[in-house]
Amino acid sequence: MSDQPWAPECTEDALLVAMFAVKRAFQARAVGLDPGAFPVLHHLASAGPSRQGALAEALGLDASTVSRQVRTLVDEGLLSATRDPQDGRATVLAISQAGREQLVDRLRAHRASLQAATAAFTGQERDDLVRLLTKLADALTAPKEMP
């Protein structure tokens, strides 16, 4: 084992380190709201009510992970859970008014953090960052062809 500190060996390593640093920074600022709640609230606010399985699929998360998150959000009054009128065995989830307020508060806090963090960026650099991150997210979520 080497006594040398680990250093990225390639651009992909450096990108991973940077992405995890950004994720940790956002999670550290998520006071009052579990970081895992944000994507759930955001998806339901954007896409509308959804069954839990469809929500897990849309978020690319394991059903058990989403189930725990949903249970907590329902208990906190941030989501409502009602029986699906087409299938009484299924539950439809929707964001509540309190959930919308939490989401708006988080979005404002994230916006302020990003504005401060990118204050020294030019407008073009901000646009490039959005474009490249969107391109990366799309590439990571695109269906992969089998060789």
Encode pLDDT of 23-43 as tens digits. 888 777 766 667 788 899 999
Domain-located, residue 106: yes
Per the structure, the count of domains in the chain is 1
Domain-located, residue 6: no
- Secondary structure class of 79 (helix, strand, coil): strand
* Residue 79 · residue 37 · CB < 8 Å: no
Domain-located, residue 73: yes
- Residues spanned by the domain of 67: 11-140
Backbone phi and psi for residue 50, each to the nearest 5 degrees, phi listed first: -155, 150
Q: What confidence score (pLDDT) does residue 32 get? A: 64
Domain-located, residue 97: yes
Whether 85 has a pLDDT exceeding 80, the answer reads yes
Exposed, middle or buried: residue 114 (CB in 10 Å: 0-12, 13-18, 19+)? middle
pLDDT band for position 90 (cuts 50, 70, 90): confident
pLDDT in tens, 134-147: 999 899 888 776 55
Report the predicted TM-score, pTM, of the whole model to 2 decimal places: 0.75
Q: What is the CATH number of the domain that holds 91?
A: 1.10.10.10
Q: What confidence score (pLDDT) does residue 118 get? A: 94
Domain-located, residue 145: no
pLDDT band for position 128 (cuts 50, 70, 90): very high
Taking alpha carbons only, the member of 48, 49, 103, 40 closest to residue 72 is 40
